[in-house]
Structure 1
Amino acid sequence: MSTDQVDGCVAAMAVSPLSGRCAEVVERAEHACFGISPFNSYFSTARIRELAAWGLEWFERVDFFVPDAPSAYTFEALGYAPGKAAWKARRQGQYTRNKIITALDSLGQADADQRVLGWAELESNAAFGRLHEGGLRRYAEDADFRDACREATGWVLAGKLPAGQAPDEGQVEHAVRYFLAELPLFIDTPAIVDAGTSVFCYHQPPAVLRRLYGGELTWRPAAGQGFAVIAPTVRESKKQR
């Protein structure tokens, strides 16, 4: 494992794969993709450093996915003008990217700026483009899949609205493009980053991902794709696998 650059102690992580196949992919420990939400205060620089240190300890390669530009869809659904929404998404996305690079630099990673997967990197990636187009097409043609995507989007929007207020149909339909932009990383990250297997790591997945990895939806993750809920626990001494 890539441990020579990680000093001292690393945060212990509670790792909960979403399925048996996900557990197998975690055990392979080839690649981890950490989802880092630009507008979530959970992802402080210290938290990102903890995740990075743990990832470098246990996996051969790590990357960090930042849904920067697609965040504008959520803000537009909340009433922001497109220009203002794009500006907010771009500014916060750059701030989040900088936090990741700072964390990786502190861990001695010379290629820190190459470990961030934002929209600029993904929109020129052929595998991502193919998967994204496939998701858009499936959303238009498959009612069950469409309902699942909209449910996930409603869950995200509900957390950004005043207590007791639910998003309307128009808001969900607009903001769902954010979820569809993320979806390729849940379906086939290995194809996007040229890895044999990959684990997408996040601390709080929407219910639709449990259905996705449970094989309940018509679109299913690639054989080498896994997902694990990752949460820091107590600190422990670094150890080798």
Structure 2
Amino acid sequence: MFNEEPLTPNCESVRESGAHACVGISPFNGYYTASRIADLVAWAKRSFDYYHFFVPDAAAAYTLEALGYEPKKARQKARRQGNLVYNKISRALAEQGVHDAKRHILDSARLDTNPRYRELHAEVTGLFEKDEEFRTETMGSSEWVLAKRLPPGCSPTPRQRELAVRYFLAELPLFLDTPTIVGRPSSVFVYHQRVTYLERLYQGELARRPDLAQGFLVVAPDEVTPDEDRSEMVLPV
């Protein structure tokens, strides 16, 4: 059903433990259809001792602002889309006989009350503001966040980059140390694409390194059509 590709030998070791997976489900990404989410739920339930699905719903407002939405409208649109994704995951879990969906979904509301997540987020935000090397490295992630969402031939402005990187900073704690956030011995973060920044992160090339109990796993079907991997964000009119 899915191909699995660990980013590093350590990521492979973490995957082999089967202790935990944190599956990233991006709002506004056409790849995550109801059927795709159902397949991912079945895969995670079969492959790991425990699992969560991460929905960066509130953080998606930063990307919408970068695309031109007013802050209030961006928050409203992100919240609506987050609810749609949350419900898709809940239905897929129920179909697999998992009825305590809230325990398996990490959305912004849940993470905002998690002390370890808050600690890590404060750490990476502080590094971003004070450490020039880390800031430069992480600003590059805004290119990935905005990829396919700007009109062809357009490069992001400095303001757009500053907003888009906030989305990535909200995700970064889960790339660094999901085990201590969710109380599991080890964890792989699961996404369907390779990201240059994350490859460098897990190879230990950046100013901040992930915990050794943290891995990253690229999980995708044999083929993904362009329509499946499209962005659903649009510029406001």
Same fold judged by TM-score > 0.5? Answer: yes
Q: Does structure 1 retain, via aligned residues, the 8 Å contact 2:145–2:164?
A: no
In 1: Cα distance, 2:144 partner to 2:179 partner: 27
In 1: Cα distance, 2:125 partner to 2:82 partner: 23
Corresponding position of 2:36: 47
The offset of 1:205, in angstroms, is: 3.3
Deviations 1:45-75 (A, max 9, x none): 1101111111111100010000000100111
The offset of 1:110, in angstroms, is: 2.1
In 2: Cα distance, 1:15 partner to 1:82 partner: 38
Percent identity between the two aligned chains: 49
Corresponding position of 1:67: 56
In 2: Cα distance, 1:144 partner to 1:43 partner: 34
Task: Report how many residues are paired.
Answer: 223
Corresponding position of 1:173: 162
* Correspondence for 2:16 among 27, 30, 34: 27
Corresponding position of 2:65: 76
Does residue 4 of structure 2 align to residue 15 of structure 1? yes
Corresponding position of 1:147: 136
SS at match of 1:230: strand
Corresponding position of 1:238: none
In 2: Cα distance, 1:198 partner to 1:158 partner: 27
The offset of 1:145, in angstroms, is: 1.5
Q: Does structure 1 retain, via aligned residues, the 8 Å contact 2:19–2:184?
A: yes
> Residues 14 and 158 of structure 1: is their aligned pair in 2 closer, same or farther, counting only changes over 3 Å?
closer
Does residue 26 of structure 2 align to residue 37 of structure 1? yes
* Correspondence for 1:220 among 202, 209, 214: 209
Corresponding position of 1:86: 75
Q: Does structure 2 retain, via aligned residues, the 8 Å contact 1:49–1:100?
A: yes
* C-alpha RMSD of the superposition: 1.1
Q: Does structure 2 retain, via aligned residues, the 8 Å contact 1:158–1:165?
A: no
Deviations 1:114-146 (A, max 9, x none): 211000000000000000000001111222221
Question: TM-score, length-normalised on structure 2?
Answer: 0.92
1:52 aligned partner, one-letter code: V
Corresponding position of 2:230: none
Q: Does structure 1 retain, via aligned residues, the 8 Å contact 2:145–2:168?
A: no
Unaligned runs of 5+ in 2: 224-237
In 1: Cα distance, 2:137 partner to 2:3 partner: 27
1:63 aligned partner, one-letter code: H
Unaligned runs of 5+ in 1: 1-11, 235-241
Does residue 114 of structure 2 align to residue 135 of structure 1? no
Corresponding position of 1:194: 183
